[in-house]
């Protein structure tokens, strides 16, 4: 559908803290929405990115659509005042209401989340949106044949990372009898794989997120036997699995966070992607079946840009693996270098 904006929207008074022009934001949003028109019109996917930061001319702002609601992730280096963020949310709701949008939630993001100690800003847990009406605690969104539970005001994340939509689909189209999903989070990679017939082992330190993964499994009508769930540190699990010959996998998924707080009580060390990724790759190969595939991804700045992830993997292995093709990034992910993904056989 075509969107219009009113260029007569007055500029807010600028301060040293921010320069925000509502009319310019509306223009960028209208252009971005037109680029997403194929996704919206086909109706196969109801969760996708509407604004992708600098890729859509709005540095520091990422707007994700989840069915009737949107989440506006606002990074601190955007230097927007609270009033500017509210104006952006209200404009978004006004412009996308004809396409069924009912609410806009806001999540403030620090570039260095490690200094927050795993905590989320208050607004990330607020049930009341910045614009529009309150949404239920959980919503169901569609991604091709898969359905996912998302939570719009449950901390920094919603339970679904949109960047990997086409990767989830592509991996499910490759034959794999057994798949290992490390840092499983809400097990979104597992769902299309399990639907395609793979037995998926999900590993995460969070019992809460693994339970969310079980709900996702049930949401898709899959039997409990289609997946296994291990609440363990990934290195602890890999050490355990390496000793057991039956724990070998045709596909291993490595999509760790940039940073994860440790748990001294359980002996879980903090995870830092730049430092720990090489050891993760080497450990994963200990449970890879002959001819198996490894999907590796990262959204860590130092790892994601300019082929750094492939170089890191090559260095960790001591040789160049056989790289396999992946689908191109979808039309809604436009900021090159923010996320990286590779597929290889060792």
pLDDT at 249 over 50: yes
CA 270, 273, 274, 275 torsion: positive or negative?
A: positive
pLDDT at 328 over 60: yes
pLDDT at 214 over 50: yes
Range from 161-165, 225-229, 241-245, 271-275 carrying the lowest mean pLDDT: 271-275
Q: What length does the chain have?
A: 346
Q: Where are the domains of the chain?
A: 22-140, 161-345
Range from 18-22, 95-99, 235-239 carrying the lowest mean pLDDT: 18-22
Quick count: other Cβ atoms within 10 Å of Cβ 156? Answer: 18
Quick count: other Cβ atoms within 10 Å of Cβ 322? Answer: 9
Q: How far apart are CA 89 and CA 117, in angstroms?
A: 28
Range from 198-202, 245-249, 255-259 carrying the lowest mean pLDDT: 255-259
Backbone angles phi, psi at 51, to 5 degrees: -125, 130
Tokens of 324: 């396999």
Domain spanning 161-345, CATH architecture: 3-Layer(aba) Sandwich (3.40)
Q: List all residues 6 or more positions away from 74 whose beta carbon is below 8 Å from its beta carbon.
A: 60, 61, 80, 85, 106, 107, 108, 109
On whether the 22-140 domain is CATH 3.40.190.10, my answer is: no
pLDDT at 335 over 60: yes
> Contact 300/273 with Cβ under 8 angstroms?
yes
Q: How far apart are CA 51 and CA 28, in angstroms?
A: 9
pLDDT at 11 over 50: no
List the one residue out of 37, 95, 47 whose CA is nearest residue 68. 47
Range from 68-82, 201-215, 297-311, 314-328 carrying the lowest mean pLDDT: 297-311
pLDDT at 267 over 90: no
Q: How far apart are CA 318 and CA 311, in angstroms?
A: 10
Angle, CA of 76, 259 and 127, to the nearest 5°: 55
List own/partner pairs for 306-310 with CB under 8 A and 24 or more apart. Answer: 306/337, 308/340, 309/340, 309/341, 309/342, 310/340, 310/342
pLDDT at 15 over 50: no
The overall average pLDDT reported for the chain is 89
| Side-chain-facing half-sphere of 56: CA atoms under 13 Å | 28
pLDDT at 21 over 60: yes
pLDDT at 57 over 80: yes
pLDDT at 12 over 50: no
pLDDT at 145: 97
pLDDT at 336: 66
Confidence of residue 67 (pLDDT cuts 50, 70, 90): very high
pLDDT at 7 over 50: no
Confidence of residue 39 (pLDDT cuts 50, 70, 90): very high
Tokens of 12: 């807010």
Strand-pair partners of 80 = none
Q: How far apart are CA 150 and CA 70, in angstroms?
A: 11
Using one digit for the tens of pLDDT, what is the confidence trace for 106-148?
999 876 555 555 566 789 999 999 999 999 999 999 999 999 9
pLDDT at 8 over 70: no
State the DSSP string of 159-228: S--GGGHHHHHHHHTS--SEEEEES-TT-TTHHHHHHTT-EEEEEES-HHHHHHHHHHHHHTT--GGGEE
Q: How far apart are CA 285 and CA 316, in angstroms?
A: 11
pTM comes to 0.88
């Amino acid at each position: 559908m075509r969107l219009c904006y009113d260029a007569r929207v007055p500029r807010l008074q600028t301060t040293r803290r921010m320069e925000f022009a509502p009319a310019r934001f509306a223009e960028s949003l209208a252009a971005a929405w037109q680029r997403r028109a194929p996704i919206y019109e086909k109706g196969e996917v109801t969760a996708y990115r509407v604004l992708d930061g600098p890729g859509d001319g709005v540095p520091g702002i990422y707007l994700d659509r989840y069915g009737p609601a949107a989440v506006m992730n606002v990074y601190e280096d955007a230097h927007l005042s609270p009033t500017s963020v509210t104006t952006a949310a209200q404009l978004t709701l006004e412009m996308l209401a004809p396409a069924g949008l009912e609410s806009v939630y806001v999540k403030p993001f620090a570039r260095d989340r490690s200094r927050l100690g795993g905590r989320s800003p208050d607004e990330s847990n607020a049930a009341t949106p910045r614009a529009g009406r309150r949404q239920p605690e959980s919503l169901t969104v569609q991604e091709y044949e898969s359905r996912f539970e998302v939570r719009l005001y449950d901390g920094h994340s919603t339970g679904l990372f949109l960047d990997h939509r086409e990767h989830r689909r592509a991996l499910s189209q490759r034959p794999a009898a057994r798949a290992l999903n490390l840092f499983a989070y809400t097990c979104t990679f597992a769902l299309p794989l399990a639907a395609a017939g793979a037995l998926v082992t999900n590993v995460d330190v969070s019992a809460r997120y693994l339970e969310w993964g079980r709900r996702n499994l049930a949401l898709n009508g899959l039997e409990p036997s289609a997946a296994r769930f291990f609440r363990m540190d990934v290195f602890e699990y890999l050490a355990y699995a390496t000793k057991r010959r039956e724990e070998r996998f045709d596909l291993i998924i490595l999509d760790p966070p940039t940073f994860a707080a440790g748990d001294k009580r359980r002996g879980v060390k903090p995870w830092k992607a730049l430092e720990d990724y090489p050891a993760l790759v080497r450990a994963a190969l200990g449970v890879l079946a002959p001819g198996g595939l490894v999907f590796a991804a990262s959204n860590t700045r130092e790892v994601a840009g300019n082929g750094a992830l492939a170089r890191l993997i090559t260095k960790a292995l001591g040789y160049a693996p056989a790289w396999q093709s992946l689908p191109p990034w979808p039309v809604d992910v436009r900021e090159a270098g923010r996320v990286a993904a590779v597929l290889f056989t060792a």
